[in-house]
Amino acid sequence: MNWLDPRAWLALIIWTAAVAFFADHRATKIERTAGEARELKISNDAKDKKIAADAESKAQERKLAAAFDQRIAQTYKDQANEKAAADRLIADLRNRNKRLSIPVTDTFCRVGTDGSSPAAAGSGAEGRSDITPGAAEFLARLAERGDNAIRKHATLVDLYNDLRNACMNPIHQP
């Protein structure tokens, strides 16, 4: 090989450029592979955090749903107990074991039916007047419906507040 021959120098320059190019290409490929591995690790870590947060959120949701179900079941149980108590009261009113009465003032009580007789002795005193069993049953049912509506409203407000608090205080992701 003649060192003065330009083909030898040209071959040497091409060979050096090729080695440098392929070495740089390999280094870039290794660097790119390492970068992709870092990005993949970051992505997997983010995915794992999201999975953990979702699992925690679902656990909280199940806990909240169980608490709601328990509260609703207790409300139905209380309603049944209150209805049974009202039914017992109404049965006692019908059987005249219990009676409802209202206070009355006897200010003008005539002895006769014509209204011209003087008032009986002891008039102006307070007394009590019994309510008929039908009217007593109506009042008892009306009171039961009102109490039931108030209990339902209070339960609904409590459930709403619990749900609002659960939504306002979300699980904090690390």
- pLDDT, tens only, 87-111: 999 999 888 888 888 888 865 554 4
- For the chain, give every domain's residue range: 50-104+126-168
d(Cα 33, Cα 160) in Å, to the nearest integer? Answer: 53
Beta-strand ranges (E) seen in the chain are: 101-105, 126-130
As to burial, measured by CB atoms within 10 angstroms (0-12 exposed, 13-18 middle, 19+ buried), residue 159 is middle
- pLDDT, tens only, 5-46: 788 778 888 888 887 777 777 777 777 888 888 888 888 899
